[in-house]
Chain A
């Protein structure tokens, strides 16, 4: 696997999506997820569709191999619905996709919109039965009186067909909007979290779900925080965490009690009260929480930074990385244009040595934890020729702008990178702009 971040040379391998300046709302990418081997990459969009790409590797034995992601399957996962009781529209936008670890030839994933989670089976068909006695090859029935001899139907190879079928629908368990889904390491259960509650499901059972966290106050006037993300520990099937809009992360142990309202650990960085402002709570809201592959750390993303927490230390994070500190002096306008509420995600690389997250102007940031090194890169077709190493970018916070730097006021806040993903094994990263997908590969591999 890769060496230090500073040695890495990222090249644009593929760019997918429409080149139109006018973005169709349905095409807005809303989630991105590699499966456990990295062979498959799933994307979900605002139109409720899922596109799955498959990795095809050329010259795998050579040290500098190239891989390409091509469409494997595409299907409509969710449709818009209308909640008759509340007269509210239920968006078809896919909020999260999570892959189930593979047990047989088929692939399974969970996809969710605001209210309903679905288990999809994606399977390949490369043979079909031929030689029926009562049916023609095109399916029309033969007149039985014309059949004079019998034959045994056989399976013959056919062009590969990938089929997606909904196997389970887990509905009606969430009053509020689902923000997270996480598959347990036991491969039997999973959790789904909305703004105020977390439910535990069994993958085989759709008509029942257990509520394990409920932070809804008796009087809604007393509401002070909401759940923003939740995830199961990668190895300990009894442990999960959930983050809040107040910047705290609570870890719960399902062995302690059926209802995990009482956390077993609470991670919170103390704040200097003299620094408190109108914006403090809003920018401390955690938009994403991800355990490291090792299970020893977890990473949180708030508006301006990425924090790494050691699960054994609740008092403060062990590492803090500034994503775009220059935005601190722009909070007023970012509040007015609602950008301050943007939910950025973050991800780990395969060996937990590096983390990545998105920013504005189609910039994204990478931090090397071991070497205290970071870089800002851009996802853009104009500035990246295929197979050419992309140049680091720099934002000038104030004062004299050097050549090649971009000033904060020139940043395009409509070009946000909210979703990024890192291949679990290879040095391949995927970055989603509003409606395009960029796949970068490290030249050094």
Chain B
């Protein structure tokens, strides 16, 4: 008849990696059997956000730009009507390039 103590010792010898694998399988029972296989790799090959079309992309970019410049100047002095504006009259265009903070 087998010794119960020796069975206990066998349990403790599971590598930490295998113990982690068991944890993962317990949480996600439907996880595929080929982890490094094509699904994972193909997901990796196609990284990057997909947009419906270029219009969708440009709208999304515009939204981000507006969020990032909340202090977009009330320097807008209305110049209409009085005279034809010259370059000096127009408000300075804010540089769209924000300098890296490493260079600060």
Quick check: is B37 within 8 A (CB to CB) of the other chain? yes
Contacts of B16 in A (CB 8 A): 328-329
Q: B35 near A279 (CB under 8 angstroms)?
A: yes
* Residue contact B35 to A89, C-beta cutoff 8 Å: no
- Check B38–A221 contact: CB distance below 8 A: yes
Contacts of B54 in A (CB 8 A): 82, 84, 87
Q: Separation in Å of the A319 CB from the closest CB of chain B?
A: 22
The answer to whether B17 has its CB under 8 Å from any CB of chain A is: yes
Interface 9-mer from B1-9, B69-77, B83-91, B96-104:
B96-104
Q: Tell me if B82 counts as interface (CB < 8 A to partner A).
A: no
Q: Contact flags (1/0) for B27-65 with A, using CB distance below 8 Å?
A: 100010001111011101111111111101110010000
Is A18 part of the binding interface, using a Cβ–Cβ cutoff of 8 Å? yes
In the complex, A285→B41 CA distance in Å? 12
A164 at the interface (CB under 8 A from B): no
Shortest distance from the beta carbon of B45 to any chain A beta carbon, whole Å = 5
In contact, B101 and A220 (Cβ under 8 angstroms): no
* Partner-binding segment picked from A42-50, A234-242, A364-372: A42-50
Residues of B within 8 A of A295 (CB): none
Task: Kindly state whether residue A8 has any CB partner on chain B within 8 Å.
Answer: no
Bound-complex Cα distance A282 to B24 (A): 14
Tell me the dominant secondary structure on chain B's binding face: helix
Number of A-B contacts (CB under 8 A): 125
Instruction: Decide if B45 touches A226 in the complex (CB within 8 Å).
Output: yes
Does B41 lie within 8 Å of A226, measured CB to CB? yes
CB-CB under 8 A from B99, the residues of chain A are 49, 74
CB distance from A308 to the nearest CB of B (A): 23
What residues on B are CB-neighbors of A415 within 8 Å? none
Interface flags for A257-288 (1: CB within 8 Å of B; 0: not) read 00000000000000000010111111001000
Please encode chain A, from 190 to 210, with 1 for each CB lying within 8 Å of some chain B CB and 0 for all others: 000001100000000000000
- Report which of B23, B37, B52 forms a contact with A87, defined as CB distance below 8 A: B52
* Beta-carbon contact of A71 and B20 below 8 Å: no
Q: How many residues of B contact A (CB 8 A)?
A: 42
Given A74-B100, A90-B48, A278-B24, the answer on whether A224 and B15 have CB atoms closer than 8 Å is no
> In the assembled complex, which residues on chain A have CB atoms less than 8 Å from the CB atom of B24?
278, 331-332, 335-336
Q: How far apart sit A226 and B25, CA to CA, in the bound complex (Å)? A: 25
A278 to B15, CA, bound (A): 13
Asked if B18 lies at the interface with its beta carbon under 8 angstroms from chain A, I say yes
| Among A18, A279, A332, contact of B101 (Cβ-Cβ < 8 Å) | A18
Pick from A89, A177, A222: contact of B51, CB below 8 A. A89
Contacts of B56 in A (CB 8 A): 87
A78 at the interface (CB under 8 A from B): no
Which residues of chain A are within 8 angstroms of B50 by Cβ–Cβ distance?
86-88
**A17: which B residues are within 8 A, CB to CB?**
101-102
A-B contact pairs, 23 of them (CB 8 A): A16-B102, A17-B101, A27-B100, A29-B102, A45-B102, A47-B100, A51-B102, A71-B102, A74-B100, A86-B50, A87-B54, A89-B48, A195-B44, A224-B36, A245-B41, A279-B20, A279-B21, A281-B35, A328-B16, A328-B17, A329-B16, A331-B20, A336-B24
Task: Give the top 7 A-B pairs by smallest Cβ distance, nearest first.
Answer: A281-B36, A329-B16, A331-B20, A18-B101, A332-B23, A332-B20, A277-B21
